[in-house]
Structure 1
């Protein structure tokens, strides 16, 4: 269950805490045991808004495959893309209330990568279960993450005079290749902690219109108040068409990814304490990487683990340091 404040914005930490406290006071409420999927309500406002975000027929002639993760985008995203002229086929689009995200969607894009190649598609889009994130697949089956999509949309908006302040909001997970690619085109990055709430807060305070995470959670402040994977896919595909390039070619041109190693280290005490204890070791490792790399060590906000991220031009060095 997701709760939003008036205007469709995320709840503040204070409001969330108050809701959680009140929730804890309530007794258990048993719901119905019937797990059947209810009939969809007819409301086309969201679909109409997404279609109107680009010019009519913007995706005409594109052959696409979408992986709906057996979730919220099943049946609806394909219809929206078809309204924009694309030829669309779906995979993992039969939700039964239990199979959402099961080895499919944005966290398991292997099936989509194979489908794009087998069906000779121009591109593919893989969503997560609730549809707020998306990663893409190029025509050759290669994976394009949120960094690639953010770069495509940022440069497109800059060229059209729509990127306020020539700035995008990112998190520490943004690949060094994205940062370098944007800087080369005169686009600044403003970094905030991991979490879409922080991205939204920064965008609002800076009057910026674009921000996102490597996971594929992008926010277009001039079009929506939250992440929307279908909107992100449409904007990226439209930008590539406008540039006269395939999605994959444009992505690899804009972002020369630096090898990135991610490690999760289980801990049995507060992560903040552990991070503080290894601060000197982290500093030494950062010196070893120099300007050709980057290291991030932080406690997870959801699990009892420490997240370690190491980037370096030399993939072997990145693995050793991590």
Structure 2
């Protein structure tokens, strides 16, 4: 059996890779490991369990609930809610763990299980490893220690989760959204009800697309990975902006009134300046990954905001924010973390804060996002090479040095071995797209010859 936990929980094709048996077993293992780790402190544990609207989430939720209850965990079933809602409820209800069933932006046949620790925080890698080891030991024949009688967990439907989460979102907004017209694309996913309700309660006029989940249509032509329909809807309705979520609504991308896309870097830039002006940007610093556009870095330098960059992945952004006490971080993909109000990326919160900045300043989203200029960025994946030698190849090192010299201060080169595939990613930014394309093509050729 290969490793089950990836960078964001356990994910795979539902009922093929991710079966009911696996979901049940992992839930029992999680209860045993967390109890052994002292997480429950000797009391009867409580878990919050939620899911996105995928059809497979129905049977997987039943399996997770059964596994937890059989291990002596009381379960609060909150139904279809975003991942950040499960994280928030886990913390606000004082639960000992949370479980979210979702495969985020993946296509409908996939699903996933993500465990959250007390407070709504992602489990440490060491705990995930122990859960996996415990599960595999049981699969190899080691019996569970099973409670009986009054020791088994009780299962309760918690209908208040929706309103409690929406109230939290409204409560952290710095100002209302009265006068704004907003189009929301819910990706037929977990935010299909939550996001429109939150924007409406905040005072915005709301138009919706992608908000009719049927269990089979999540992410299908809608959401943050398919912005075309949102761009068209914003222009058609004369809206001030549009907001798009992914399947579990932990990310947000936007569209301005002209129908132009506003990516995660631009959203992060707008929120960084809003928080700086409000005195909420601790140490006047924002955290982003090395894949953030060079235009973002240049804009932050011009505005006097420090930038700390991490490896690619929102988990690394969050780790740096916690370690250094920073308040804001995110990724180009739209994962934005406002740590004072959320323990994970929260797409609805991000969209609300973005709209609040438009309402407060009276400036258009296009004008606000114009604080940074997105430099042309060319990304080439070079497959079937020995990625392990990417950092040590003398030929490649010389080529990179020559490219950086050619690009100067307004360009950038990044070579990154893929974490999951036998390929190397070549990314080049430059003020001129043709120069970026030429340099990237040349470097890709060197990667092929040096590492092939």
* TM-score normalised according to structure 2 size: 0.65
Q: Distance in 1 between matches of 2:400 and 2:196?
A: 46
Q: Secondary structure at the match of 2:224?
A: helix
Q: CA 1:238 to 1:260, structure 2 compared with 1: closer, same or farther past 3 Å?
A: same
- The residue correspondences of 1:54-133 to structure 2 (distance < 5 A) are 54-55=173-174, 58-133=176-251
Match of 1:294 among 409, 412, 424: 412
Which stretch shifts more, 112-121 or 272-281?
Answer: 272-281
Ranked by relative contact order (alpha carbons within 8 Å, sequence separation 6 or more), the top structure is 1
Structure 1 spans left out of the alignment, 5+ residues: 29-38
The number of equivalent residue pairs is: 309
* TM-score normalised according to structure 1 size: 0.90
Larger radius of gyration: 2
The answer on 1:140 being equivalent to 2:243 is no
Q: Distance in 2 between matches of 1:153 and 1:242?
A: 12
Q: Secondary structure at the match of 1:227?
A: coil
Residue pair 2:178, 2:359 contacting (<8 A) in 1 also: no
Q: Deviations over 1:10-54 (max 9, x none)?
A: 2222223333334445549xxxxxxxxxx9944222111001011
Partner of 1:229: 347
Partner of 1:7: 119
The answer on 1:20 being equivalent to 2:132 is yes
Q: CA 1:92 to 1:25, structure 2 compared with 1: closer, same or farther past 3 Å?
A: farther
TM-superposed CA distance for 1:55, in Å, is 4.5
Q: Deviations over 1:267-301 (max 9, x none)?
A: 365x3334543333223322221212001111222
The answer on 1:161 being equivalent to 2:274 is no
Q: Secondary structure at the match of 1:14?
A: helix
What do you get for the CA RMSD once the two structures are aligned?
A: 1.9
Q: Distance in 1 between matches of 2:388 and 2:215?
A: 37
Q: Deviations over 1:94-130 (max 9, x none)?
A: 2222322122211110110011111111100011111
Q: Deviations over 1:41-87 (max 9, x none)?
A: 4422211100101156x111111111111111112210110000111
Q: CA 1:273 to 1:75, structure 2 compared with 1: closer, same or farther past 3 Å?
A: same
Q: Secondary structure at the match of 2:265?
A: helix
Match of 2:336 among 218, 223, 229: 218
Q: Distance in 2 between matches of 1:18 and 1:305?
A: 30
Match of 2:398 among 280, 285, 306: 280
Q: Secondary structure at the match of 1:236?
A: helix
Q: Secondary structure at the match of 2:172?
A: coil
Match of 2:362 among 225, 244, 257: 244
Q: Secondary structure at the match of 2:388?
A: helix
Q: Distance in 1 between matches of 2:400 and 2:127?
A: 35
Partner of 1:45: 164
Residue pair 1:116, 1:123 contacting (<8 A) in 2 also: yes
Q: Distance in 2 between matches of 1:242 and 1:51?
A: 15
Q: Distance in 2 between matches of 1:189 and 1:138?
A: 25
Q: Distance in 2 between matches of 1:283 and 1:15?
A: 41
Q: Secondary structure at the match of 1:316?
A: helix
Structure 2 spans left out of the alignment, 5+ residues: 1-112, 141-156, 441-452
Q: CA 1:90 to 1:180, structure 2 compared with 1: closer, same or farther past 3 Å?
A: same
Residue pair 2:252, 2:335 contacting (<8 A) in 1 also: yes
Q: Distance in 1 between matches of 2:196 and 2:244?
A: 12
Q: CA 1:24 to 1:246, structure 2 compared with 1: closer, same or farther past 3 Å?
A: farther
Q: Deviations over 1:180-208 (max 9, x none)?
A: 11111110000111111111111111111
Which stretch shifts more, 160-169 or 285-294?
Answer: 285-294
Partner of 2:377: 260
Q: Secondary structure at the match of 1:18?
A: helix
Residue pair 1:152, 1:240 contacting (<8 A) in 2 also: no
Q: Distance in 1 between matches of 2:415 and 2:271?
A: 29
